[in-house]
Amino acid sequence: MANTEAVGGVDTFLLYAEESTYNSDPGSGYVHFGHIKRFSHTPSNNMYYGRSFKGTTTGGRDIAKFAAGKLGVTASAEFDVIQWQFLKFVLGSESGTGPYQYSGADVPPSITLHRCIDNPGASATDQDLIITGAVINSCTVRCSVGEQVSCTLDFLGALVAYDTTILGAVALPDRNLFTFAGGSIELPDGSAISNIIDSVEITVSNNYEILYGVGSRLGQNAKPKAREYKIRFTLKYLDNDMLDKLLGASTPTAAGGPTESATIALKFEEGDKSCDFVFSGFVFDEGTFTDELNEVLTEDLRGTAKTLIATDDRT
């Protein structure tokens, strides 16, 4: 019988669960991130290729021996947002019981990823790809006119392995998609921007380092370094307000700088559910202002914030 190739999302699914001990699969509690659109993973052996001065059967240009280096694994998941619980593993701290609040912690929890292939072949061998010690190195949430709210998570892991017995499928939560229609920006929080907004993008970077030690090529721990909150949005030109905040004044001074806003808020709503991202201490890093013949003028602003608290009202 002819081979039957597996199709992403038809024969595959992706689940995760929080680890109580770093790099240890909890064995239960697996859930969905959202409506997954794409998942990729890259194991790396970080090989060393040993060469030497010429011997009797080898020359200096050719490889004489292989040596395996640190086992590394990266992964990426893209999904449409139907819920915001994943923010706990981006920011680190979760509090409250409805609404829930997520804020920055020194070390966010790690998770285990299971990507399962339910092989449709006649003599099928399934695959449960297991990434333990997975941490979210960066998270980007996007919202553009006419589209759903989407998210990309980039992971670093300590160990990647596989089994031929897959997990049982888990039902998707019966939740509607968050879309552009429920998005808004307030600068500062409580003061809506008057401009027509085309797109919003939030990026949180944890800048993790996987730690290795003598005696094992496997990751031993994951430690985040400097955290960064980046915000980018594009809008239609209305007045001089954005340029003034970027420059700090109509004419920048020698000792001046951009205007620091106490807060900036990005809000997403879907029916009676919402998630409000409130950043403190925001400044614009740069902006691009574009005029095209017979087109509405646009402004593309990029900035950085000090801290973030996200409030998830999922009731």
Indicate whether 57 belongs to any domain.
no
Q: What is the pLDDT of residue 122?
A: 67
Q: What is the largest CA-CA distance in the chain?
A: 78
What phi, psi does 180 have (nearest 5°)? -60, -30
What phi, psi does 305 have (nearest 5°)? -120, 165
Q: What is the pLDDT of residue 2?
A: 58
Pull the structure tokens for residue 282.
Answer: 């925001």
Contact status, residue 312 vs residue 272, Cβ threshold 8 Å: no
What phi, psi does 87 have (nearest 5°)? -65, -25
Q: Which domain holds residue 74?
A: 12-48+66-166+175-313
Instruction: Count each helix (H run) and each strand (E run) in the chain, helices first.
Output: 2, 20
Indicate whether 27 belongs to any domain.
yes
Indicate whether 152 belongs to any domain.
yes
Indicate whether 4 belongs to any domain.
no
- Return d(Cα 315, Cα 312) in angstroms, integer: 9
What pTM was computed for the model? Answer: 0.94
Number of domains the chain contains: 1
Indicate whether 59 belongs to any domain.
no
Ordered per-residue pLDDT tens for the chain, 315 residues: 456 888 999 999 999 999 999 999 999 999 999 999 999 999 999 999 998 888 887 778 888 899 999 999 999 999 999 999 999 999 999 999 889 999 999 999 999 999 999 999 867 789 999 999 999 999 999 999 999 999 999 999 999 999 999 999 999 999 999 999 999 999 999 999 999 999 999 999 999 999 999 999 999 999 999 999 999 999 999 999 999 999 999 999 899 899 999 999 999 999 999 999 999 999 999 999 999 999 999 999 999 999 999 999 987
Indicate whether 6 belongs to any domain.
no
Indicate whether 5 belongs to any domain.
no
Strands 111-117 and 127-144: antiparallel
Q: What is the pLDDT of residue 32?
A: 97
Indicate whether 192 belongs to any domain.
yes
Q: What is the pLDDT of residue 128?
A: 97
